[in-house]
């Protein structure tokens, strides 16, 4: 049951006078629960609790943290239909998506628990050579972390999503700034985290959840001197604003922001000669998936002028038109989509490929495909902008040289995709693909970019503005690296060292000993 209150540690609190409600975008009406925005006092209490909890949680054994993460997953599943119903009411997303995202959320938590039990994530390094200093290094947690819930993933990138799961795995208490679009979903998940913390004996303050309808709460959290890092998924405007706030603190802190991307797709000629219809159908579905509200939505498709490319565009438009429009997350997001789309459609030099004649419900988005030539795209940067929704631009390049120029002028991206049916063709595009690789965090071959596999090899990030630091990922087990820092112990007595660095290797983890990976004791 949602109360509309904030979780300050394990206590529900509603001291503020600023209130708001969430919207059911499918019905275009307000949901019932009134939510109370966190006050400055509540913010300070949550961070103070997190700081105190860190004294214990930052040194707790990995297997205990693993128990906690698994308990969170269990408690989320216990919420059952109440969670799914609230999710659907607040997002306009279908039941299948709700089920899938819940599974991804609990799967992430359990994957980090498995990582903790294996133990090598601490990256223990030992240099022990006679006549030289005894040098031993491992990763330690940095302290309280603030996580911003994402609008487009009410579960997997929000309250107990990847940022929170990885920070808790690292040993960092988390204060969540709940997203106002799905505050009820956030509160239910927060209740699951609190129950799990109590069940597994975690310190009070290891987790808090704060409501906010504007930017004040988030700003205050990032500015708070006890906060050591920030996780954010959202717009370029929001992410860069937080980076500036964090950089201007007396002691700057990192903001790991995953932001905008148009995810360029490079179609090589061979792919159009043999599988044009297949790729057109796949990309129509990808562009419209989730009403285009995935950060990996293919917003830019690049090819070289040919009859085959024209045929591909025609099939893509036809297949896109066949798909029923779906509901966006919120009236504000629908309005933003229409404004951004109008800004692009107000330009000159493109052709409209999809139909604009369908009548849609108030918060439903009409999908749109346009095409421009390479020279127009290079000249007019408006065509480069991300339109958050089911929108994509196809660029018809004159030749490989112009295609390469376009790739070089693109900003950093989360993904880049290459479609190819003949590896003999590869050498003709080697430079283009190398330049594309330097622009992205994930390079895909013969697939669609929508969908992000949660695994240790995944990179969900990329050069700015795809993310604020391209060295890190917000998805997968290595996301934990954002919340730790290395510490070296020099000439310490063995019995005073952390277990991961002791000679006998009591944790039986893989370590680097004198530059050799081993589980053997010293």
Per-residue pLDDT of the chain (522 residues; tens, 9 = 90+): 899 999 999 999 999 999 999 999 999 999 999 999 999 999 999 999 999 999 999 999 999 999 999 999 999 999 999 999 999 999 999 999 999 999 999 999 999 999 999 999 999 999 999 999 999 999 999 999 999 999 999 999 999 999 999 999 999 999 999 999 999 999 999 999 999 999 999 999 999 999 999 999 999 999 999 999 999 999 999 999 999 999 999 999 999 999 989 999 999 999 999 899 999 999 999 999 999 999 999 999 999 999 999 999 999 999 999 999 999 999 999 999 999 999 999 999 999 999 988 889 999 999 999 999 999 999 999 999 999 999 999 999 999 999 999 999 999 999 999 999 998 898 899 999 999 999 999 999 999 999 899 999 999 999 999 999 999 999 999 999 999 999 999 999 999 999 999 999 999 999 999 999 999 999
Q: In 3D, which of 118, 123, 47, 27 has the Cα closest to residue 330?
A: 27
pLDDT tens-place string over residues 66-107: 999 999 999 999 999 999 999 999 999 999 999 999 999 999
CB 63 within 8 A of CB 117: yes
| Digit-coded pLDDT (tens) for 457-498 | 999 999 999 999 999 999 999 999 999 999 999 999 999 999
Q: What residues have CB less than 8 Å from 353, skipping those under 6 apart?
A: 313, 314, 316, 317, 369, 370, 371, 394
- Contact 258/461 with Cβ under 8 angstroms? yes
| Domain edges within the chain | 6-118+138-259, 264-445
Among 361, 367, 463, 489, smallest CA distance to 410 is for 463
Contact indicator for 472, 485 with CB cutoff of 8 Å? no
Beta sheet of 413-419, edge-to-edge order? 350-352, 368-373, 391-397, 300-304, 264-267, 413-419, 440-445
Token representation of residue 295: 């950060």
Answer for the pair 470, 461: CB distance below 8 angstroms, yes or no.
yes
Quickly list DSSP for 308-374.
HHHHHHHHHHHHHHHSPPEE-S-HHHHHHHHHHHHHHHTSSSEEE-S-------TTEE--EEEEEEH
What positions carry a catalytic annotation? 258, 295
Same topology between domain 6-118+138-259 and domain 264-445: no
> What pTM was computed for the model?
0.96
Q: What is the distance between the alpha carbons of residues 359 and 80, in angstroms, rounded to a whole number?
A: 35
Question: Are the beta carbons of 299 and 263 closer than 8 angstroms?
Answer: yes
CB 218 within 8 A of CB 212: yes
Mapped onto helix, strand or coil, the DSSP state of residue 408 is helix
Q: Which CATH topology does 6-118+138-259 take?
A: Aldehyde Dehydrogenase; Chain A, domain 1 (3.40.605)
Phi, psi of 370 (to 5 degrees): -125, 165
Helices (H), 346-479: 374-379, 400-409, 430-437
Torsions phi, psi for 148 (to 5 deg): -95, 125
Say which CATH topology domain 264-445 has.
Aldehyde Dehydrogenase; Chain A, domain 2 (3.40.309)
Q: Is the peptide bond before 128 cis (omega within 30 degrees of 0)?
A: no
Nearest in space to 76 (alpha carbons), one of 162, 210, 211, 195: 195
């Amino acid at each position: 049951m949602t109360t509309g209150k904030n979780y300050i540690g394990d206590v529900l609190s509603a001291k503020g006078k600023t209130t708001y409600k969430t919207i059911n975008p499918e019905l275009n009406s307000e949901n019932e629960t009134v939510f109370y925005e966190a006050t400055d006092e509540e913010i300070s209490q949550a961070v103070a609790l997190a700081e105190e909890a860190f004294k214990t949680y930052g040194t707790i054994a990995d297997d205990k943290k693993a128990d906690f993460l698994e308990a969170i997953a269990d408690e989320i599943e216990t919420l059952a239909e109440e969670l799914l119903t609230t999710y659907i009411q607040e997002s306009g997303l279908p039941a299948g998506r709700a089920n899938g995202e819940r599974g991804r959320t609990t799967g992430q938590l359990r994957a980090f628990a498995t990582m903790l039990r294996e133990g090598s994530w601490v990256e223990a390094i030992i240099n022990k050579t006679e006549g030289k200093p005894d040098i031993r290094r491992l990763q330690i947690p940095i302290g309280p972390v603030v996580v911003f819930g994402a609008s487009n993933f009410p579960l997997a990138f929000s309250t107990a999503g990847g940022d929170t799961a990885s920070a808790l795995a690292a040993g960092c208490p988390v204060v969540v700034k709940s997203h106002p679009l799905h505050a009820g979903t956030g509160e239910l998940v927060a209740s699951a985290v609190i129950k799990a913390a109590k069940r597994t004996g975690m310190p009070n303050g290891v987790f808090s959840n704060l409501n906010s309808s504007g930017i004040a709460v988030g700003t205050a959290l990032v500015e708070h001197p006890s906060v050591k890092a920030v996780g954010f998924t959202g717009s370029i405007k929001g992410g860069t604003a937080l980076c500036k706030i964090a950089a201007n603190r007396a002691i700057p802190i990192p903001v790991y922001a995953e932001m905008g991307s148009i995810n360029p797709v490079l179609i090589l000629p061979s792919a159009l000669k043999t599988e044009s219809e297949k790729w057109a159908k796949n990309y129509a579905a990808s562009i419209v998936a989730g009403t285009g509200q995935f950060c990996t939505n293919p917003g830019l498709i690049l090819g070289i002028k040919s009859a085959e490319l024209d045929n591909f565009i025609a099939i893509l438009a036809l297949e896109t038109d066949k798909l029923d429009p779906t509901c966006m997350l919120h009236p504000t997001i629908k309005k933003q989509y229409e404004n951004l789309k109008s800004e692009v459609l107000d330009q000159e030099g493109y052709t409209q490929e999809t139909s604009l004649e369908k009548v849609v419900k108030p918060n439903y988005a009409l999908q749109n495909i346009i095409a421009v030539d390479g020279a127009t795209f290079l000249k007019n940067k408006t065509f480069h902008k991300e339109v958050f929704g089911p929108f994509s631009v196809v660029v018809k390049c004159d030749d490989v040289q112009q295609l390469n120029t376009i790739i070089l002028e693109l900003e950093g991206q989360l993904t880049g995709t290459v479609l190819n049916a003949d590896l003999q063709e590869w050498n003709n595009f080697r430079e283009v693909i190398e330049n594309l690789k330097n622009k992205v965090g994930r390079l895909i071959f013969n697939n669609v970019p929508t969908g992000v596999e949660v695994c240790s090899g995944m990179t969900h990030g990329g050069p700015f503005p795809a993310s604020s630091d391209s060295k890190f990922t917000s998805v997968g087990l290595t996301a934990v690296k954002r919340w730790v820092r290395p510490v070296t112990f020099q000439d310490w007595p063995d019995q005073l060292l952390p277990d991961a660095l002791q000679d006998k290797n009591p944790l039986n983890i893989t370590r680097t000993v004198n530059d050799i990976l081993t589980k053997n004791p010293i």
